[in-house]
Amino acid sequence: MLLKLARVDPRRFRACALGIALGAREVGVAVVTGERLLTASVLNVRKIRSPDMRQRRFEQAVSLLLDAYAVTRLAFVADQQGGADQAAWLEREARRREVPATRLLPARVRAALCAPGARPSNGALARHVVGRFPLLWSRSPDAEAVPGASLAEGLRRRTRSHRARYHARMFIAAGAAMLDLDELAKARAGV
């Protein structure tokens, strides 16, 4: 289910990027303009047993986002572990729709958007995305206290909850879309 955060006509914006973080169990998606987050969610495909049905569900959801938000750019995050079928379909679909597509590694997204000097992590990336789009705070790892964290020093830093793992892909997808739009703005400015 997609979280609709803003009712805005996306054709008003010069650039609208769809960020997708591919994964075998969950796929994070986010649609971002330069200053607004239009939607962000996690597609949970882990319970679909058939790989063909899983791929079909992925294709339907991404096609819906591409059409509904008039996406002008596509940034997807894929690591070497999996998502080859999804990545290949995204590249074909981007060529078919004549939408520029950028393939990124998760480490590049984290390193580019996390604070300089800080260790790039999903938590740091989530904090950066929440700083730009405060509506996502309720889904950030900082919004949830780890049970028993007050009993042991440093437990909160080392323990990731299921909820934080689940939403990590959504924050990576939002980060990929933000990074793609930031690089586009730098290219237009000639920096």
- State pLDDT tens for residues 107-159: 899 988 887 777 788 888 888 888 888 888 777 666 555 555 555 555 545 55
Q: In whole numbers, what is the pLDDT of the chain averaged over residues?
A: 81
Q: Return the closest-CA partner of residue 173 out of 119, 115, 133.
A: 133
Q: Percent of the chain beyond pLDDT 90? A: 35
Looking at the predicted structure, is the pLDDT value of residue 69 above 70?
yes
How many angstroms separate the CA atoms of 19 and 77, rounded?
Answer: 8
How many angstroms separate the CA atoms of 119 and 105, rounded?
Answer: 16
- Which range has the worst mean pLDDT, 3-7, 92-96, 149-153? 3-7
Helices (H), 3-154: 51-68, 84-97, 106-113, 122-132
* pLDDT, position 34: 78
Given CATH 2.40.50.140, say whether it is the number of domain 3-189: no
- Does residue 126 contact residue 160 with C-beta atoms inside 8 Å? no
Looking at the predicted structure, is the pLDDT value of residue 94 above 50?
yes
Per-residue confidence at 2, pLDDT binned at 50, 70, 90?
very low
Which residue is it, tokens 């990731």?
160
Per-residue confidence at 17, pLDDT binned at 50, 70, 90?
very high
Quick one: CA dihedral 141, 142, 145, 150, positive or negative?
positive
- Segment 27-68, tens digit of pLDDT: 999 999 878 899 999 988 878 888 889 889 999 999 999 999
Q: Give the count of alpha carbons within 13 A of 104, CB side only.
A: 28
Per-residue confidence at 77, pLDDT binned at 50, 70, 90?
very high
* pLDDT, position 45: 80
Long-range contacts of 163-167 (CB under 8 A, 24+ apart): 164/122, 164/123, 166/26, 166/42, 166/44, 167/28, 167/42, 167/126, 167/139, 167/140, 167/141
Q: Residue 98: which region, alpha, beta or left (left: phi > 0; alpha: psi -120 to 50)?
A: left
Mean pLDDT of the 83-96 span: 91
* pLDDT, position 13: 56
Looking at the predicted structure, is the pLDDT value of residue 18 above 90?
yes
